């Protein structure tokens, strides 16, 4: 598979308030964010020239920074505009957008209160997180080795780079064994989320989804819940034991990158993409492209 390195591309990246050529958007090797994971980020999608739920994403970026004890040196409105401008500067109307904020290299150590806070925004074409043929028949997932931590041990409600370490490990292990992704349990043993998306299950026409009490309450997750309720479906947010998966007929995952993707397999459990999963996937696709008004 041919890979185009992300550090060797044409285009522009918004960095600390100005555009710099893509290849020149660099940081020092002693940047605090690299050594101590003092970085927060967002993943957003632009459809037809409009970034879906842009302000909600930006506000979450600021909240994540606050949780990690630093302030972003711009306003929400300025970052919103910078995201739009970055897409325009790169000539993109359908794109994935990645804002990120991090502590700089003025101090290297656990204490880094005097570091400069940097912000960058990049965007690129990214048609689908999963292959089209996988989405059509449902993706295959295994169980992750690592669990989502307790809110008492990590800042679980921040979209912080350090919290994705176990996600990368788990997804690599899944792909090595021929799966598309891995499903993670939480610290109590309940079903939590995949390595990069929230999960929903269907039983007798009722939609069940884990309570987002130790992982991100995804923006796409919230949109899909509203869409489902608008269609008259009951949505129950609760703790789900892994052995309950044998009782569900359908399963799908949601996220800005994943959008709405049916699941065919999680470990020993099997699901069949059905009318509810497929209709919500279609509704979400119409919503983000402004073909459907969210209730």
What is the set of active-site residues?
159
Q: How far apart are CA 18 and CA 39, in angstroms?
A: 20
What per-residue string of b and e applies to 258-294 under the rule 16 or more CB within 10 Å gives b?
A: bbbbbbbbbeebbbebeebbeebbebbeebbeeeeee
**Longest CA–CA separation in the chain, Å:** 57
Query: Following DSSP, what letter does each residue of 45-87 receive, concatenated?
Result: EEETTEETTHHHHHHHHHHHHHHTT---SS-HHHHHHHHHHHH
Segments of 195-256 assigned E as strands: 198-203, 206-210, 235-238, 250-255
């Amino acid at each position: 598979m041919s890979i185009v390195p992300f550090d060797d591309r044409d285009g522009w990246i918004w960095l600390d308030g100005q555009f710099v050529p893509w290849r020149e958007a660099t940081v020092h090797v002693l940047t605090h964010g690299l050594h101590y994971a003092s970085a927060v980020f967002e993943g957003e999608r632009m459809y037809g020239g409009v970034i879906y739920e842009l302000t909600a994403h930006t506000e979450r970026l600021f909240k994540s920074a606050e949780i990690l004890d630093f302030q972003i040196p711009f306003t929400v409105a300025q970052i919103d505009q910078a995201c739009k401008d970055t897409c325009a500067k790169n000539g993109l109307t359908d794109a994935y957008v990645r804002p990120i904020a991090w502590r700089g290299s003025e101090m290297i150590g656990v204490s880094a209160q005097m570091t400069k806070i940097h912000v960058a925004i990049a965007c690129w074409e990214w048609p689908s997180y999963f292959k089209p043929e996988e989405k059509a028949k449902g993706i295959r997932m295994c169980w992750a080795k690592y669990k989502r931590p307790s809110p008492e041990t990590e800042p679980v409600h921040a979209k912080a780079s350090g919290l994705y370490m176990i996600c990368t490990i788990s997804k690599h292990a899944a792909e090595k064994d021929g799966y598309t992704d891995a499903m993670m349990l939480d610290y109590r043993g309940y079903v939590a989320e995949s390595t990069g998306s929230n999960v929903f299950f269907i039983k007798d026409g009722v939609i069940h989804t884990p309570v987002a009490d130790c992982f991100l309450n995804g923006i796409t997750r919230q949109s899909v819940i509203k869409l489902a309720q608008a269609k008259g479906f009951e949505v129950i947010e609760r703790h789900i034991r892994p052995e309950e998966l044998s009782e569900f007929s359908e399963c799908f995952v949601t996220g800005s990158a994943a959008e709405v993707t049916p699941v065919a397999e999680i470990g020993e459990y099997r699901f069949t993409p059905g009318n509810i999963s497929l209709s919500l996937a279609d509704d979400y696709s119409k919503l983000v492209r402004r073909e459907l008004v969210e209730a």
